């Protein structure tokens, strides 16, 4: 009875079992299929990532996923397909073309390196990777580059302008020295320019500004340098010195511009007074104002012309002595007014070079007349007696000046001794004096009864002359045969 009871309790549903078994099989098959699909897809991606760049790959901002190396290189190289380098100079531009220097720029090596580093089995890690940076590889012929640069007009030395240092110039308007900035020039440091060109070509830069990259050689100093400002101050202290010469009745001032010309300023702006240039100025002053030994045209009281020269009268500068004196005046920067150092002197001087002026004694030996002029006014006209022609004491014509003004003396010679009150020599032993032993003057007395060469005057006129002349006072003696209109 118990066995039968047990058989009745156990019941197996075959259909349910079969269904359960089939369900498990289906699930297994699905899993196998999915696994197969995954493996296949993975394998495909491995294959594609092996042959091409992995998904998500970016190089220099360019999407390179599933692209082969050549395609990527071509894409990246396209940017520099028409590459050229423009050089900008101060005075123009020039272009370096790739064909001239065998220039080649390619990302091939960098792209190939990135591709080799990728693991195709780990293709999925590149999907979210960062952008890859690829450097371009540049090649060019450096010898051809140098030749190309040497052929550029702006880099030829014959076309370059040397830079000028700032100058200290004289401003005629302000009568002061000032700074003038020099021409910066166009002189280029060619070695630096070559080096920068190579750097720009390697970096694929399209422009090289020669000026902004300090290729131009600059002057050592600029106009704001303290050294130059101090030099200007020193120059102005020299040229502000007032130096005046008293040439007779004329004052000649040494212009500030001429003092400026006597200074030397070296390349480090050291200012000195040049003895050589001072002497050059004195030479010029001598040529301008020396009248000694020159012909003069004197107008007589009646307007006739007397052309005369003189061995004793006229300005003659002592150039060595005056150069030393002027040098000292400038170095000391002291205002002075003085007579120049002279070897010979004249009484007057005007802007036309007339050193006689309008104060003088005029002696017409033919007419035996004496005229005294002061400041253009006739003081007196009187008769005289000049040297005796018969005895060979003819008074010579010419230009002279009073050598002395002596009161109460005795004139002595081999055969005479004559006391006089007023003695005014002008040509060695020849001079004006009173002749109280004479009762008549003028006419032809001089022919047979003249003096030993002196010009004898009536006492009163000799006294007037004595009171109006001084050392250096001009005397012009002439014969009418020497005159012209």
Catalytic (active-site) positions: 433, 454
pLDDT greater at residue 75 or residue 201: 201
Mean pLDDT of 353-373: 96
Quick one: pLDDT band at residue 123, thresholds 50, 70, 90?
Answer: confident
- Out of 315-329, 343-357, 426-440, pick the least confident: 343-357
**Per-residue pLDDT tens for 277-307?**
999 999 999 999 999 999 999 999 999 999 9
**pLDDT value of residue 82:** 84
Q: For the chain, give the mean pLDDT.
A: 91
Quick one: pLDDT band at residue 6, thresholds 50, 70, 90?
very low
**How high is the pLDDT of residue 341?**
97
Instruction: Report the top-level CATH class of 360-484.
Output: mainly beta
Beta bridge partners of 479: none
Torsion over CA: 397, 404, 246, 331 (sign): positive
Q: Residue 375 above 70 pLDDT?
A: yes
For the stretch 75-103, pLDDT in tens is 887 877 888 999 999 999 999 999 999 98
Question: Which CATH class name applies to 226-295+325-344?
Answer: alpha beta
Q: How confident is the model at residue 355 (pLDDT cuts 50, 70, 90)?
A: very high
Highest mean pLDDT among 53-57, 98-102, 308-312, 406-410: 406-410
pTM confidence score: 0.70
Average pLDDT over residues 202-213: 91
Domain boundaries, the chain: 226-295+325-344, 360-484
């Amino acid at each position: 009875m118990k066995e039968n009871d047990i058989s009745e309790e156990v019941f197996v549903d075959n259909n349910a079992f079969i269904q359960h078994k089939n369900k498990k099989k289906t699930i297994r098959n699905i899993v196998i299929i999915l696994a197969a699909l995954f493996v296949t897809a993975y394998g495909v991606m491995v294959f594609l990532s092996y042959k091409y760049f992995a998904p998500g790959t970016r190089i220099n901002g360019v999407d390179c996923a599933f692209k082969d190396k050549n395609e990527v290189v071509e894409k990246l190289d396209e940017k520099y397909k028409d590459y050229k380098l423009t050089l900008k100079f101060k005075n123009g531009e020039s272009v370096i073309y790739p064909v001239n220097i065998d220039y080649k720029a390619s990302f091939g090596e960098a792209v190939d390196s990135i591709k080799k580093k990728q693991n195709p089995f780990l293709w999925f890690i590149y999907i979210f990777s960062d952008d890859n940076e690829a450097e371009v590889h540049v090649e060019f012929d450096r010898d051809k580059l140098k030749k190309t640069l040497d052929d550029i007009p702006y880099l030829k030395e014959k076309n370059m302008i040397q830079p000028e240092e700032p100058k200290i110039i004289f401003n005629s308007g302000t009568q002061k020295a000032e700074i003038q900035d020099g021409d910066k020039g166009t002189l280029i440091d060619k070695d630096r320019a070559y080096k920068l060109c190579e750097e720009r070509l390697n970096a694929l830069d399209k422009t090289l500004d020669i000026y902004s990259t300090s290729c131009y050689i600059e002057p050592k100093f600029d106009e704001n340098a303290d050294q130059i400002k101090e030099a200007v101050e020193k120059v102005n202290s020299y040229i502000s010195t007032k130096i005046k010469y008293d040439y007779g009745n004329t004052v000649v001032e040494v212009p500030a511009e001429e003092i400026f010309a006597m200074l030397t300023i070296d390349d480090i702006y050291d200012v000195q007074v040049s003895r050589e240039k001072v002497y050059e100025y004195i030479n010029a002053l001598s040529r301008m104002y020396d009248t000694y030994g020159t012909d003069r045209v004197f107008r007589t009281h009646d307007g006739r012309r007397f052309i005369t020269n003189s061995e004793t009268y006229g300005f003659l500068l002592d150039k060595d002595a005056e150069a030393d004196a002027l040098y000292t005046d400038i170095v000391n920067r002291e205002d002075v007014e003085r007579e120049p150092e002279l070897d010979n002197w004249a009484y007057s001087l005007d802007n036309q070079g007339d050193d006689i002026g309008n104060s003088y004694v005029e002696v017409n030996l033919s007419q035996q007349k004496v005229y005294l002029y002061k400041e253009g006014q006739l003081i007196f006209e009187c008769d005289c007696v000049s040297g005796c022609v018969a005895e060979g004491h003819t008074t010579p014509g010419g230009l002279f000046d009073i050598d002395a003004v002596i009161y109460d003396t005795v004139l002595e010679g081999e055969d005479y001794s004559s006391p006089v009150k007023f003695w005014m020599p002008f040509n060695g032993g020849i001079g004006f004096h009173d002749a109280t032993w004479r009762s008549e003057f003028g006419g032809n007395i001089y022919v047979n009864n003249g003096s030993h060469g002196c010009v004898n005057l009536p006492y009163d006129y000799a006294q007037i002359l004595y009171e109006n002349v001084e050392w250096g006072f001009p005397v012009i003696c002439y014969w009418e045969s020497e005159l012209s209109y």
